[in-house]
Amino acid sequence: MNNYFCLAQDIGMGSNKIYGPSGGVIIQSTVSTNTGRKKSTSIGLRSRKPPTNVQIDGMSFYVGVDAHDWGRPVENLDYDRMTGVPETRAITYASVSQYIEKFGPITKPIYYVVGLPLEPLSGDQSTNNINAVRQWLRGKHAWEADGKSYAINIEDIKIASQPVGAFFDFLLDENCQFIPERRSIFSQEIGIISIGFNTIEILTVKDRTPVHTMSEGKKLGVRRLLELMSMNELFTLGELDTLLRNGALDTSATLPVWAREILGQIEKIWENRWRRFAQIIVVGGGAVLLKDVLMKRFSGKIYFPDDPIQSVSRGLYKLGVLHMSK
């Protein structure tokens, strides 16, 4: 498998994360269609560099921070967004472009590992969802970003749930080897909580096997916190997300309400059975916002990685390398 280049993607509704051998990149998953309107300049006003402009098959998109200021917002957050719709392709290509610019060209065929929420991986439609993701990703891709041409070839695709990425980020070191003092935990019972922009993912693993009755994904992520602020008629969710990231939103009234909803969902799935877990791993941008609350609730059990936002994609990459070596 040395002829392959391993690359992992955590398709997030708030941020898209790409991770490979040299490290990772994160891009805000905010998209707008380019309306073709020319930018204007005026004395006395600052000029801004536009977000990444991605062109695919004659379509033009802005991707990243402030994308909604530059074009017509595209903000459909249903699970179809995982299956290769134009805005997902634009986000993915913008992310891969940034990876290439930061770490160098990708010349080998890619062994691609993708992380998806639990809900589309469960139920009657799971096979169709997985096939749809594989169908749009597999093969050769060509696009332009900020006027520069890029091309990659994705030859093999593996799909895992996002919490599984966090699980293997915890278990494996930077060389994708099991951390000796954590290997024994692999066969014990572990809880994983991933709080992203759109969903909270709760996964329970016992003796290397998922416990389905104690695992569930629900649309209760950071998006819910922003919706509680009753400002959606004035701002898009992407704009609110940017304000939140910049520390420009006062969440003092709504954060405790959202925290209770998150704790209520965890209680619904785990009840008090989390007390028997060997470890509880918590990741995601929402986990950063709720770190103090979660530390208090699960005192003595909880583990926060050094980079809770990049943890899923980093763990998916480690898992991919582990599989490639077999």
Q: What is the pLDDT of residue 121?
A: 84
Q: Which domain holds residue 113?
A: 5-324
Residue 42: predicted pLDDT: 45
Does 77 score more than 70 pLDDT? no
Give the mean pLDDT of 16-29. 96
Mean pLDDT of the 50-69 span: 91
Distance in angstroms (rounded) separating the CA atoms of residues 185 and 104: 37
Q: Which range, of 46-60, 98-112, 133-147, 294-308, averages the lowest pLDDT? A: 46-60
- pLDDT digits over 136-161, tens only? 999 999 999 999 999 999 999 999 99
Q: What is the mean pLDDT of residues 250-257?
A: 94
Contacts of 261 (CB under 8 A, 6+ apart): 220, 224
- Report how many domains make up the chain: 1
Rounded to two decimals, what is the model's pTM?
0.92
pLDDT given at position 38:
58
**CATH number for the domain harbouring residue 109:** 3.30.420.40
Tell me the CA distances in angstroms from 139 to 105, 107, 111, 160, one per residue in order: 17, 14, 11, 19
How large a percentage of the chain has pLDDT more than 90? Answer: 71
- With bands split at pLDDT 50, 70 and 90, how would you rate the model's confidence at 7? very high
